[in-house]
A and B are shown apart, each in its own frame.
Chain A
C-alpha cells in the first residue's frame, strides 16, 4: 500500500487485521542509514536495548511481587478493579487498532466517541427511561441502553468517517490526523452541551453488593463488566475472522488497491470498520458509567489516550494485542492507583504516558510484534 511499505510479518495463529497492512511505528532512518541491510535476515541478537528492556521488566515484576507480599488482600482487590477497567480499555483500544489497521489513521476522536457513548447512554437510561435503581427490569433496560449507545456511536463514527476522513483518504498523512484532532474537539463540545462542563454524577443500576473469594471482596459490578465485555470481544473476533465482511476488512487492511481490484467495496468496508469500532466504544461508555457512576465531557480525552497506550502495548493493528494490552494497562493503572508501594493516583497520567513513550520508542511493534524496520 505504501510505496516504502512495511515488510510483511507473518504471525499465524494470532488475530491480525492484516499482515502487511499494519505498519508499526518504525524507526525510519535507522534502516536508511547504518543498520538496515546488515541485519536483514540475521538472527536476533541481544542488544543493549533488549537487555535494558529485560532488566526493566524484571524490576517491574519484582516491584509487583513486593506490592503483593506487602498487602495481598488489597492487591487482589485492586486487581479485580484492574481487570474490569482493562476490559473497558480493550473495547476502546480495539476501535483505535481496527481503524489504524485499515486506514493507518490514529483516530483521535475515538476517545471522545466513547465519552459521547457514556453521556448518551446515561441520558437514555436516566432521563428517558428513568431507571435509577437495581432491578431485573432495570437490567433489561441496561441491555437496551448498551444497544442504543452502540448503535448511536456506530452511526456517529460512520458519519465522521463519511464527512471528514473519506475525503482525505489519499491526502498526506498530516491532514487526516489534524482533522481527527479537530473532530475530537467538536465531539467534546457536543459532550459539554449534553453533559455540562462539570462532572455529572449518575446512578448505576448494577447491584452494589459484593461476594468474597477467600478474604478478597469482589464487587458484582466488575464481574458484570467482564461478563458483558467478553462476549462482545468474541463476537467481534467472529465477525472479523469468520464472516464475509470480516474477510473483506482483512483484505482491505492488507492491500486496499488489490481489494478494490478483487471487487471489494472498500468504502463500505471502511465504513463498516468504523461502525464496529464505534459500537464497541459505545458499549464501553455505558459500562464505564455503570462502574464509575459519573460522566464528564473530558473523560474521552484521557481514557482515549490510555486506551491508545493499550493498543500500542499490544501492537497497533493487532486485535488480540489490543485486548491483551487493554487488560494489562487496566491492571497497571489500578495497581498504580491503589496497590501498596506504587505512585498513587496523582501520577496515573505520568505512568501511563511513560509506558506509551517507552513502548513507541523502544518496541514499536508492541509486546507481540517483532521489532520491524522499514526497508527502502
Chain B
C-alpha cells in the first residue's frame, strides 16, 4: 500500500510541477525558456512514471490499456488535423488505419513467402524473402523489415491513400464529403476481405488475416546504460512487454504533437483554419483550397498509418474485421470530446474514450454492480454512450472539454448570428462580425442601412 502511495505522490509531484509552470509560470524571456525546459523534463518524467503507476492501479489502469490509449491518442491527433484544423468531416478515418496496419503486415511477416507457397499453379510463383534490420530470425522466411522503416513506409502509403481519396472528394460540400469518406471506409475492408483470390493470387489472406507480425526491434537503444525509472531497454519488444511499447508509442505521439503544433501555427495551419471558418473568404484571400485540403488529408492520414502499423505489432495479427465504422466514430468522438482543433484536447479525448472503451466500462460497471447489487453490463451500452457523447457535446459544449485557444476567444459568439450558410463548419471558431461583413459584402441580407 505504501508503495502505491509513494508512486502516486511521485507522479503527482511531477505533474504538479508541470501544471503550475504551465498555468502560472513565466512565458517569455530567459525565465520562460528555463520554465519550458523544466516543463519538458517534468513531462518526460511524468510519462516515464506511468507504467509503474499503472502496475499499482489494481485493475483500473492496466498497462495494455495505457498503450492502446496512446495509440488512439495518436489517431485522434491525426483526425484532429482533418476535422479540427481544416474542418473537413472525415467519417472514413479507418481507411488510413487499415492501410497502415496492412503495410506493417506485408512488410513485417512471413506472408510474403506464404503468398506463393499457397498457390497451386507453379507457373506464377513469387516468394519474397527479405530481412532488413529486423527482430525476426533468419530462419523465418518472408519479408521482415525493421519497424522503424516500416512506420515510414506506412506513413507514405497512408498519405498517398489520403491524396487518392481526397483528390476527387474534397471538392464536395461538407455533408457529402462525410458520406463519401464513409463509403471509402466501408469499401476498403471489403476489398481487402475479398482479395484472397485475385486471379489465383492470395494478396490479403482474406478473413484469416495476416500474422504473426514481427516484434519491434530497439536496435542500438539496447546498448544504453540502465536509465532511472525506465530501466534497461530490451533488444526486441516481446508481446508482453507493455512498458517499452508504451515508451515507443509515446515517443511517436510526441513527434506528432510537435508537428501538429508547428503546423498549426505555420502558414499551412493558418490556411486550414481559414478554410474551416470560411472557405469562400479563404479562397478569395488566395488560399489554394484543394491543395490545402489535400495536405490536411495527407498529414492526418500519416498519423493513422503510423498508428495502424504500431497497432499491427501490438495485436500480432492484422485481421480485416478490426476495421469498422465504429473505429472512425470512436476517434471522432475523441476529437470532439477533447475539443476540435486542440492538440491537447485530442490527446485527452483519445485517452479518455479508449480507457472507457477497453477498461473503464467494465471496471466501473463492476464497481457499480458491487455497490448496488445490480447486474448491469455497462459494456452493452457502449455504442449508445459514444452516441450520447457526440450528441450531448454538440448540443451543450460544441467547443469540447478543452477548447482550442481561438474558440475560447470567441466563446460568446452567438451561434445564431454565426452562420446559416454552408462553409463555416465549426461555429465556435467563427467571429460573427466577420460573417456579417461577408453578408454585407455580397449584398445578400442587407436589411437596414446604418447610415
A and B: real partners? yes
Q: Report A112-152 residues with CB < 8 Å from chain B CB.
A: none
> B232 at the A/B interface (Cβ < 8 Å)?
no
Chain B positions within 8 Å of A360 at CB level: 169, 172, 176, 179-180
> B191 at the A/B interface (Cβ < 8 Å)?
yes
A353 contacts B384, CB within 8 Å? no
Interface centre among A28, A32, A356 (most CB of B within 10 A): A28
Chain B positions within 8 Å of A174 at CB level: 87, 89, 174, 425-427
A173 contacts B171, CB within 8 Å? no
> A4 at the A/B interface (Cβ < 8 Å)?
yes
A168 contacts B421, CB within 8 Å? no
B173 contacts A168, CB within 8 Å? no
User: Given A3-B445, A182-B390, A189-B387, do A349 and B174 touch, yes or no (CB 8 Å)?
Assistant: no
Q: For the complex, what is the distance from the CA of A204 to the CA of B427, rounded to whole Å?
A: 49
In the complex, the chain B residue whose C-beta lies closest to that of A190 is B384
B183 contacts A189, CB within 8 Å? no
CB-defined interface of A163-184 with B at 8 Å, one 1/0 digit per residue? 0100110111111111101111
Chain B positions within 8 Å of A2 at CB level: 420-422
Q: For the complex, what is the distance from the CA of A4 to the CA of B420, rounded to whole Å?
A: 10
A185 contacts B390, CB within 8 Å? yes
Q: Report A13-34 residues with CB < 8 Å from chain B CB.
A: 23, 25-30, 32-33
Q: For the complex, what is the distance from the CA of A106 to the CA of B395, rounded to whole Å?
A: 17
Chain A positions within 8 Å of B175 at CB level: 25, 104-106, 173, 177
Q: For the complex, what is the distance from the CA of A194 to the CA of B445, rounded to whole Å?
A: 49
> B356 at the A/B interface (Cβ < 8 Å)?
no
B398 contacts A353, CB within 8 Å? no
B383 contacts A175, CB within 8 Å? no
In the complex, the chain A residue whose C-beta lies closest to that of B193 is A346
A186 contacts B388, CB within 8 Å? yes
Interface of B: prevailing SS: helix
Chain B positions within 8 Å of A28 at CB level: 171, 173, 279, 289
Q: Report A167-223 residues with CB < 8 Å from chain B CB.
A: 167-168, 170-179, 181-190, 192-193
Chain A positions within 8 Å of B178 at CB level: 106, 177
User: Given A1-B420, A178-B336, A360-B176, do A185 and B329 touch, yes or no (CB 8 Å)?
Assistant: yes
Q: For the complex, what is the distance from the CA of A361 to the CA of B167, rounded to whole Å?
A: 11
Q: For the complex, what is the distance from the CA of A12 to the CA of B216, rounded to whole Å?
A: 65
The residue that A178 contacts in the complex, of B172, B394, B419, B439, with Cβ under 8 A, is B394
A364 contacts B176, CB within 8 Å? yes
B395 contacts A179, CB within 8 Å? yes
CB-defined interface of B430-451 with A at 8 Å, one 1/0 digit per residue? 1000000011001011000000
Q: How many residues of B are in contact with the other chain, CB < 8 A?
A: 65
In the complex, the chain A residue whose C-beta lies closest to that of B439 is A3
The distance from the CB of A133 to the nearest CB of chain B, in whole angstroms, is: 33
CB-defined interface of B143-182 with A at 8 Å, one 1/0 digit per residue? 0000000000000000000000000110111111011101
A26 contacts B190, CB within 8 Å? no
Chain B positions within 8 Å of A106 at CB level: 175-176, 178-179
CB-defined interface of B87-108 with A at 8 Å, one 1/0 digit per residue? 1010100000000000000000
B176 contacts A3, CB within 8 Å? no
Q: For the complex, what is the distance from the CA of A27 to the CA of B174, rounded to whole Å?
A: 11
In the complex, the chain B residue whose C-beta lies closest to that of A353 is B183
> B186 at the A/B interface (Cβ < 8 Å)?
yes
The residue that A172 contacts in the complex, of B176, B289, B386, B427, with Cβ under 8 A, is B427
In the complex, the chain A residue whose C-beta lies closest to that of B398 is A175
User: Given A170-B420, A347-B190, do A175 and B171 touch, yes or no (CB 8 Å)?
Assistant: no
> B214 at the A/B interface (Cβ < 8 Å)?
no
Q: For the complex, what is the distance from the CA of A364 to the CA of B177, rounded to whole Å?
A: 12
Q: For the complex, what is the distance from the CA of A361 to the CA of B442, rounded to whole Å?
A: 28
The distance from the CB of A342 to the nearest CB of chain B, in whole angstroms, is: 14
In the complex, the chain B residue whose C-beta lies closest to that of A256 is B420
Q: For the complex, what is the distance from the CA of A1 to the CA of B178, rounded to whole Å?
A: 22
Chain B positions within 8 Å of A177 at CB level: 89, 174-175, 178
A3 contacts B388, CB within 8 Å? no
Q: For the complex, what is the distance from the CA of A347 to the CA of B198, rounded to whole Å?
A: 13
The distance from the CB of A316 to the nearest CB of chain B, in whole angstroms, is: 9
A353 contacts B425, CB within 8 Å? no
In the complex, the chain B residue whose C-beta lies closest to that of A185 is B387
Chain A positions within 8 Å of B176 at CB level: 25, 106, 360, 364
Chain A positions within 8 Å of B193 at CB level: 346
CB-defined interface of B398-425 with A at 8 Å, one 1/0 digit per residue? 1000000000000000011011111111
The residue that B172 contacts in the complex, of A104, A193, A361, with Cβ under 8 A, is A361
The distance from the CB of B333 to the nearest CB of chain A, in whole angstroms, is: 8
In the complex, the chain B residue whose C-beta lies closest to that of A25 is B176
The residue that B179 contacts in the complex, of A104, A171, A308, with Cβ under 8 A, is A308
B395 contacts A353, CB within 8 Å? no
In the complex, the chain A residue whose C-beta lies closest to that of B293 is A29
> A305 at the A/B interface (Cβ < 8 Å)?
yes
The residue that B190 contacts in the complex, of A32, A104, A346, with Cβ under 8 A, is A346
Chain A positions within 8 Å of B444 at CB level: 3-4
CB-defined interface of A83-105 with B at 8 Å, one 1/0 digit per residue? 00000000000000000000011
The distance from the CB of B179 to the nearest CB of chain A, in whole angstroms, is: 6
B383 contacts A185, CB within 8 Å? yes
Chain A positions within 8 Å of B424 at CB level: 172-173
Q: For the complex, what is the distance from the CA of A162 to the CA of B383, rounded to whole Å?
A: 22
Chain B positions within 8 Å of A357 at CB level: 168-169, 180, 183-184
Chain A positions within 8 Å of B171 at CB level: 27-30, 361
> A376 at the A/B interface (Cβ < 8 Å)?
yes
Chain A positions within 8 Å of B386 at CB level: 182, 185
A3 contacts B442, CB within 8 Å? yes
> A75 at the A/B interface (Cβ < 8 Å)?
no
User: Given A106-B175, A188-B383, A189-B383, do A347 and B194 touch, yes or no (CB 8 Å)?
Assistant: yes
Q: For the complex, what is the distance from the CA of A190 to the CA of B388, rounded to whole Å?
A: 12
A173 contacts B174, CB within 8 Å? yes
Chain B positions within 8 Å of A4 at CB level: 280, 421-423, 442, 444
B430 contacts A172, CB within 8 Å? yes
> A350 at the A/B interface (Cβ < 8 Å)?
yes
In the complex, the chain A residue whose C-beta lies closest to that of B284 is A32
In the complex, the chain B residue whose C-beta lies closest to that of A316 is B176
The residue that B384 contacts in the complex, of A30, A105, A189, with Cβ under 8 A, is A189
> A274 at the A/B interface (Cβ < 8 Å)?
no
Q: Closest 10 interchain pairs by CB?
A: A182-B390, A185-B387, A189-B384, A172-B427, A353-B183, A186-B387, A25-B176, A182-B391, A182-B387, A189-B383
* A–B complex contacts, Cβ < 8 Å, 8 sampled: A3-B439, A4-B280, A106-B176, A164-B395, A185-B386, A186-B383, A186-B388, A308-B179
Given A182-B386, A364-B176, 7 additional A-B pairs, CB 8 A: A29-B289, A175-B427, A177-B178, A189-B382, A353-B183, A357-B183, A360-B176
By a beta-carbon cutoff of 8 Å, the part of chain A in contact with chain B is 1-4, 23, 25-30, 32-33, 104-106, 164, 167-168, 170-179, 181-190, 192-193, 301, 305, 308, 346-347, 349-350, 353-354, 356-357, 360-361, 364, 376
By a beta-carbon cutoff of 8 Å, the part of chain B in contact with chain A is 87, 89, 91, 168-169, 171-176, 178-180, 182-184, 186-187, 190-191, 193-194, 279-280, 283, 289-290, 325, 329, 332, 336, 380-391, 394-395, 398, 415-416, 418-427, 430, 438-439, 442, 444-445
